[in-house]
Amino acid sequence: MPKIRRPEVYTARKLRREMSLPEILLWHRLKGNAAGAAFRKQHPIGPYIVDFYCSARRLIVEVDGEIHAGRQPHDAERDRFLRENGYQVLRVNAADVLKDADEAAGAIASLVARPLHHRPAAGGPPPRAGEDFA
């Protein structure tokens, strides 16, 4: 019996073949752990398909181009859903990618390289039981 997939999977496959130029430029700089972590392109998460996803950091990168004009309410709802489910969403302007794709990819790589946990500020509360910031 053939495996029945969610409709988002088929849509994601189609979108992988029809990526915009800024998405293609950024993908060539993120694929193969070039940013310090593995990324997937056009990845389904819940009812949405995100442009790029790094599972190690639960980081979603969205390239905002002309298609996003006038879709702010939809994008805000989408971002709210993703954040409520533990994802970090980074929006990158397509014009910035077209201007300097290396710089855009570098900014993403530096975000990926940041530690997930930071030392508390001096004078802040001590770590909870089981947390070690030493």
55 closest CA partner among 41, 72, 73: 41
Cα gap 52→74, rounded to integer Å = 18
Report pLDDT for 90.
93
Q: Given a cut of 80, is residue 111 above it in pLDDT?
A: yes
Each residue of 1-23: pLDDT tens digit? 677 777 677 667 677 677 889 99
pLDDT-above-70 percentage for the chain: 75
Going along the chain from its start, the domains and CATH numbers come out as: 20-113 (3.40.960.10)
Each residue of 94-108: pLDDT tens digit? 999 999 999 999 999
Q: Given a cut of 90, is residue 118 above it in pLDDT?
A: no
Cα gap 74→104, rounded to integer Å = 24
Read off the pLDDT of each residue in 77-105 and give the average, rounded to a whole number: 94
89 closest CA partner among 97, 98, 80: 80
Cβ neighbours of residue 51 closer than 8 Å, sequence gap 6 or more: 23, 41, 42, 60, 61, 62, 63
Cα gap 30→14, rounded to integer Å = 20
Report pLDDT for 3.
74
Report pLDDT for 100.
95
Mean pLDDT over each residue of the chain, to the nearest integer: 82
Q: Which two tokens stand for residue 41?
A: 């392109």
Cα gap 94→19, rounded to integer Å = 12
State CA 102 to chain mean position distance. Answer: 17
